């Protein structure tokens, strides 16, 4: 038994250790999110460094990639200068050094360091570099041509006899001058001066290295994959336990919970023998029944002091971050059906992991060194063998010649700095030893691993300038619509809606709005003939109301046909599944259905269009359509809906069924006022949710609506439209000063972002008087969709570009059903900005599908009450999406999910690489990259808000989450004053600075 104090201490340690492991949603409702979300209380740079320490993931692109952007012009020199001035590291050693006729500052040196990067040379390479083929005889490959020409011209001018070999003469003399300045040409080794940094081995401390578990340390010292061995055991058990119907044979005893089920079943598992664990069965049975007690036992057995529990648990959790992120999510969502039935949480995971940590470490230590696998024993053993330890840890392979070390570290870097700064040998000879050391100290103060923040700021700066120039030049161009619009369409703020809105507005006097795709109505929704419930709202919210999709009155015959067909289909699926998974039945399935499936394989691969047509026809034969509605009123459904035949679950606990009249009126009023739709209503107002249509795509949820929890948004659109068409709601709105014309009809729809077609719902309720309106709208939407498809084809790799809009329309439709296509659409890749403001700021502007557009009228919200709601919900969702793409872009193998080519779906909850791996966390390579090209440019989201800076500041001060995101630089913020049209940038210290926008000709 453990004491109450020990238990409390353990729980606090686990809670804090889990901060690094952000919850990860199931794949079917995949939510783009920050993989280090738990560290957003830290400044961005500090958080990504912690992420790299624990998760081995980069927080920035490699410096070399940023330099390529610089040489290609994507990052401009002016942007790099401004970025360095804004994000420069702290250095006490300032001042100016005169080199020849030039005055050199620390900023000059750092800029050159960014562009060229000066690093020490490995001592073993020095002889080759000093040979005829080395760098002391040839210019650096990345030295610009103009620099080479100027250096050669000056060399010839200063040394006439060097005309025949100016490059070689310059570099040889420069190298000699560098050695002379640093005192390497004549001083004895003991008299050498060194810069502050050192590559010499530090004093070896015989303690567990930072960010390592004991199994990490022992495995490295013994040269065995001990952590991988433990991971294999963990993955085997976790994947079996978390399966949601994909496995043929289910793991038993899951109802008792993960730890209890493993403890019972592992005692019959013979793999313990192959691991070398003596008495494996007895040891498992001897474990405490309580997982918390098992954790304490494991930590104490390893010799981990209680003050180190939190750090050690963090390392344990980060060894399989994908699985632990999902387990944490399950533990925080007890109402999730699988979690309710088969509970698991980080505590149970740690209890099992520590058992393998203890026993496998013990096995290796006994076999290799004859000691116990505990921290004191390992430390003591290697403390007596320090030389051998240094070699095994990679600290004993240094050159014993300090002169050579200093030349490779100091002279080599200064030699390349002088070359890139175009200093002549004569210039260098004029430097003193102190000045040479000062230059090296400047380089030491800004090592390459600190270049990322500056490069990122410059990368973002170029995009920011270009976007603000577009907005500035567009001011005053768009005139307000002075006639009644043909229709008004409300789209999700999703970046894919930006270009579609532009194309529909080009079809005529249409007015479009951007609003979060759940339309401000968080609901728990059960689709018709669906078993489970889906929360259709941002994951930051929790719905208080539940609605069901039910058959309409009068659909009894259609419903009966549907149910009959469904029962036969379910029977066929059940029989086929059982036969396929039965060892003997599977052989019969191959013989009986082999030809049939071969035809399907050929059809969906080589004859896609005919195959889809035949498949759709067969589907219509066996599926009978049923007209449905979503009942939003709080009254119970009428009995003639035959709800009991299709309702598979009761209303989730704690949620009211439907909405009262006052609640419906409030939701509609808030939504209309938030999007700025309060006057000049058209005859049709379309609430256009969005979803996707793909085949063989485990990441389908990532293409759906993030504001709807990774689900399509059509249900929310239907709920909003139903409420807005209610006469009682209209009456209440009129009394509140928001009259809606009697001939205005709210129509729900869904934009298929893969095919660019819009489908309407609940047309049964559409008045006859609006039939002509809907026909005209449908025609214009088809035209807009075709032009949108053509625009998308310009961005999709291998898609035809020189085709008509109609052919582009057909092409994207074909991509949606192509099971071999790893990139049916780009999704939200490319997202870079979030604009909150009036449509006149961007109407007609081609923003490249990179900007979230949220409609908002600052003049109607002078105090910022509506703005506060937008900043604390949709903007946060935008930040989650952006950081999810950002980290998948900068390190697709650590924070993303690698390549789709080697993906395998596991348990129906996620994907692994190959047959066994960690659960993959983010987006695959094909979602963010086109080969080696970053289609998604990894940048932090730029929020542009149309309001006075003081109002925005007031909103930020009210909410800690906004302070974290803006003050810690997870988000960049620009204010556009609606009265002066001036831009202001928000700084991490909560101040504002005026931005002068100059439009280039």
User: Which of 451, 591, 630, 626 has the alpha carbon at shortest distance from 84?
Assistant: 451
The residues facing 97 across adjacent strands are: 104
Inter-residue contact 908 to 243 (CB < 8 Å): yes
Q: For residues 901 and 925, what is the distance between their CA atoms, to the nearest angstrom?
A: 10
Inter-residue contact 17 to 295 (CB < 8 Å): no
Q: Is there a binding annotation on residue 159? A: no
Q: Which two tokens stand for residue 186?
A: 């004549």
User: If residue 325 lies in a helix (H) or strand (E), which one and from where to where?
Assistant: helix 321-332
The residues facing 497 across adjacent strands are: none
Q: What is the pLDDT of residue 136?
A: 82
Q: What is the pLDDT of residue 916?
A: 92
Inter-residue contact 35 to 51 (CB < 8 Å): yes
Q: For residues 603 and 318, what is the distance between their CA atoms, to the nearest angstrom?
A: 44
User: Which of 344, 326, 259 has the alpha carbon at shortest distance from 297?
Assistant: 259
Inter-residue contact 894 to 913 (CB < 8 Å): no
pLDDT in tens, 656-695: 999 999 999 999 999 999 999 999 999 999 999 999 998 8
Inter-residue contact 878 to 834 (CB < 8 Å): yes
The residues facing 976 across adjacent strands are: 946, 983
Sequence-ordered list of residues with C-beta below 8 angstroms from that of 678, at least 6 positions apart, any chain: 672, 738, 860
What is the DSSP secondary structure assignment for residue 901, as one 8-state letter?
G
Q: For residues 371 and 38, what is the distance between their CA atoms, to the nearest angstrom?
A: 39
What SS3 class is residue 558? Answer: helix
Residue with tokens 């500052």: 105
Within 818-938, residue ranges assigned H as helices are 865-871, 874-890, 925-928
Q: Which two tokens stand for residue 241?
A: 């336990």
Count of C-beta atoms within a 10 Å radius of residue 938 = 23
Q: What is the pLDDT of residue 734?
A: 96
Q: For residues 262 and 348, what is the distance between their CA atoms, to the nearest angstrom?
A: 10
What SS3 class is residue 873? Answer: coil
Q: For residues 588 and 45, what is the distance between their CA atoms, to the nearest angstrom?
A: 59
Sequence-ordered list of residues with C-beta below 8 angstroms from that of 300, at least 6 positions apart, any chain: none
Q: What is the pLDDT of residue 606?
A: 76
Q: Which two tokens stand for residue 331?
A: 């533990």
User: Which of 538, 495, 504, 561 has the alpha carbon at shortest distance from 854?
Assistant: 495
The residues facing 551 across adjacent strands are: 628
Give the dihedral sign, CA 132/135/137/142.
positive
Total-model pTM: 0.92
Q: What is the pLDDT of residue 397?
A: 46
DSSP string, 791-817: HHHTTSTT---SS-HHHHHHHHHHHHT
Query: How much is the CA Rg of the chain, to the nearest whole Å?
Result: 33
Q: What is the pLDDT of residue 635?
A: 62
Q: For residues 108 and 298, what is the distance between their CA atoms, to the nearest angstrom?
A: 54
Max CA distance (Å), the chain: 105
Q: For residues 282 and 267, what is the distance between their CA atoms, to the nearest angstrom?
A: 7
pLDDT in tens, 502-534: 999 999 999 999 999 999 999 999 999 888 899
DSSP string, 657-687: ESB-HHHHHHHHHHHHHHHT--SS--SEEEE
Q: pLDDT over 90 for what percent of the chain?
A: 73
Q: Is there a binding annotation on residue 705? A: yes
Q: Which two tokens stand for residue 889?
A: 């872009």
- The strand pair at 656-657 and 903-906 is best described as unpaired
User: Which of 996, 950, 955, 954 has the alpha carbon at shortest distance from 977?
Assistant: 950
3-state helix, strand, coil in the chain (%, to 5): 50, 10, 40
Q: For residues 752 and 690, what is the distance between their CA atoms, to the nearest angstrom?
A: 6
∠ Cα 402 406 411 (to 5°): 155
Q: Is there a binding annotation on residue 494? A: yes
What is the length of the chain? Answer: 1001
What SS3 class is residue 101? Answer: coil
Q: What is the pLDDT of residue 620?
A: 73
What SS3 class is residue 516? Answer: coil
Which segments of the chain have a pLDDT < 50?
Answer: 186-202, 397-399, 637-648
Q: What is the pLDDT of residue 1001?
A: 62
């Amino acid at each position: 038994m453990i004491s109450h104090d020990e238990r409390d201490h353990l729980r606090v340690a686990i809670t804090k250790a889990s901060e690094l492991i952000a919850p990860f949603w199931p794949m079917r409702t995949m939510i783009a999110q920050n993989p280090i979300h738990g560290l957003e209380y830290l400044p961005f740079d500090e958080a990504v460094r912690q992420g790299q320490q624990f998760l081995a993931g980069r927080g920035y692109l490699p410096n070399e990639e940023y330099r390529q952007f610089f040489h290609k012009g994507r990052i401009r020199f002016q942007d790099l200068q401004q970025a360095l001035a804004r994000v420069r590291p702290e250095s006490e050693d300032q001042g100016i050094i005169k080199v020849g006729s030039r005055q050199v500052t620390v900023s000059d040196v750092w800029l050159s360091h960014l562009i060229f990067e000066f690093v020490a040379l490995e001592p073993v390479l020095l002889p080759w570099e000093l040979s005829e083929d080395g760098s002391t005889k040839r210019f650096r490959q990345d030295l610009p041509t103009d620099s080479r020409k100027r250096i050669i011209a000056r060399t010839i001018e200063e040394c006439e006899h060097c005309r025949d070999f100016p490059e070689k003469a310059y570099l040889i003399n420069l190298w000699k001058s560098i050695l002379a300045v640093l005192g390497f040409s004549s001083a004895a080794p003991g008299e050498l001066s060194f810069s502050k940094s050192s590559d010499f081995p530090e004093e070896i401390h015989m303690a567990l290295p930072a960010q390592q578990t004991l199994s990490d340390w022992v495995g490295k010292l013994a040269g065995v994959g001990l952590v991988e061995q433990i991971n294999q055991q963990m993955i085997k058990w976790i994947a079996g336990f978390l399966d949601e119907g994909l496995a043929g044979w289910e793991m038993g005893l899951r109802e008792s919970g993960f730890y209890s089920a493993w403890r019972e079943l592992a005692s019959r598992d013979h793999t313990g023998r192959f691991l070398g664990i003596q008495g494996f069965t007895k040891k498992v049975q001897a474990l405490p029944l309580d997982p918390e007690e098992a954790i304490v036992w494991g930590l104490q057995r390893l010799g981990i002091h209680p003050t180190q529990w939190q750090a050690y648990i963090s390392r344990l959790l980060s060894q399989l971050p994908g699985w632990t992120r999902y387990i944490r999510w399950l533990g925080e969502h007890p109402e999730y059906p699988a979690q309710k039935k088969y509970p698991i949480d980080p505590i149970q995971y740690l209890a099992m992991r520590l058992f393998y940590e203890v026993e496998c470490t013990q096995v290796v230590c006994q076999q290799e060194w004859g000691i116990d696998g505990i921290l004191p024993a390992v430390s003591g053993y290697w403390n007596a063998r320090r030389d051998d330890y240094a070699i095994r840890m990679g600290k004993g392979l240094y050159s014993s010649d300090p002169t050579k070390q200093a030349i490779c570290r100091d002279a080599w870097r200064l030699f390349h700095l002088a070359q890139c700064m175009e200093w002549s040998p004569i210039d260098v000879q004029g430097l003193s030893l102190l000045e040479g050391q000062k230059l090296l100290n400047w380089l030491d103060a800004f090592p390459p691993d600190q270049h990322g923040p500056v490069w990122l700021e410059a990368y973002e700066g170029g995009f920011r300038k270009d976007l603000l120039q577009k907005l500035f030049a567009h001011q005053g161009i768009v005139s307000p619509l002075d006639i009644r619009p043909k229709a008004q369409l409300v789209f999700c703020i999703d970046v894919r809606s930006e270009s579609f809105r532009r194309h529909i507005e080009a079809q005529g006097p249409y007015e479009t709005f951007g609003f979060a795709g759940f339309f401000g109505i968080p609901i728990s929704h059960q689709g018709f003939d669906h078993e489970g419930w889906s929360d259709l709202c941002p994951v930051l919210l929790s719905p208080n109301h539940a609605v069901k999709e039910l058959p309409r009155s009068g659909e009894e015959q259609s419903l009966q046909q549907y149910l009959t067909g469904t029962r036969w289909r379910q029977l066929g699926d059940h029989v086929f599944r059982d036969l396929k998974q039965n060892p003997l039945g599977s052989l019969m399935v191959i013989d009986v259905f082999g030809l049939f499936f071969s035809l399907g394989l050929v059809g969906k691969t080589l004859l896609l269009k005919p195959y889809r047509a035949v498949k759709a026809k067969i589907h219509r034969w066996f599926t009978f359509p049923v007209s449905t509605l979503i009942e939003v009123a709080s009254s119970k459904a009428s009995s003639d809906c035959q709800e009991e035949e299709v309702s598979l679950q009761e209303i989730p606990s704690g949620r009211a069924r439907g909405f009262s009249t006052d609640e419906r009126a409030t939701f509609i009023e808030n939504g209309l006022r938030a999007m700025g739709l309060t006057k000049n209503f058209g005859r049709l107002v379309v609430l256009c949710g969005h979803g996707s249509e793909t085949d063989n795509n485990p990441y389908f949820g990532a293409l759906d609506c993030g504001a709807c929890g990774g689900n399509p948004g059509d249900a929310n659109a239907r709920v909003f439209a139903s409420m807005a068409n209610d006469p009682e709601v209209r009456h209440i709105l009129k009394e509140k000063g928001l009259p809606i014309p009697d001939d205005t009809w709210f129509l729900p729809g869904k934009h298929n972002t893969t095919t660019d077609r819009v489908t309407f719902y609940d047309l049964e309720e559409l008045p006859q008087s609006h039939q002509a309106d809907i026909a005209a709208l449908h025609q214009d939407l088809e035209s807009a969709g075709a032009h949108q498809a053509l625009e998308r084809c310009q961005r999709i790799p291998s898609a035809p570009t020189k085709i008509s809009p109609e052919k582009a329309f057909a092409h994207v439709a074909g991509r949606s059903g192509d099971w071999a296509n790893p990139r049916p659409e780009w999704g939200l890749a490319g997202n870079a900005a979030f604009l909150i403001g009036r449509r006149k700021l961007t109407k007609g502007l081609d923003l490249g599908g990179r900007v979230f557009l949220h409609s908002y009228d600052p003049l109607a919200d002078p105090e910022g009450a509506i703005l506060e709601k937008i900043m604390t919900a949709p903007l946060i969702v935008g930040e989650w999406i952006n950081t999810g793409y950002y980290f998948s872009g900068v390190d697709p193998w650590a924070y993303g999910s690698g390549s789709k080519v080697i993906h395998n779906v596991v348990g129906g909850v996620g994907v692994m690489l190959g047959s066994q791996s960690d659960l993959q966390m983010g987006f695959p390579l094909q979602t963010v990259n086109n080969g080696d090209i970053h289609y998604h440019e990894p940048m932090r989201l730029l929020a542009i808000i149309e309001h006075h800076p003081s109002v925005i500041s007031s909103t930020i001060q009210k909410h800690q989450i906004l302070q974290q995101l803006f003050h810690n630089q997870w988000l960049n913020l620009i204010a556009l004053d609606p009265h002066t049209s001036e831009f202001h940038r928000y700084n991490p210290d909560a101040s504002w600075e005026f931005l002068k926008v100059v439009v280039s000709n």
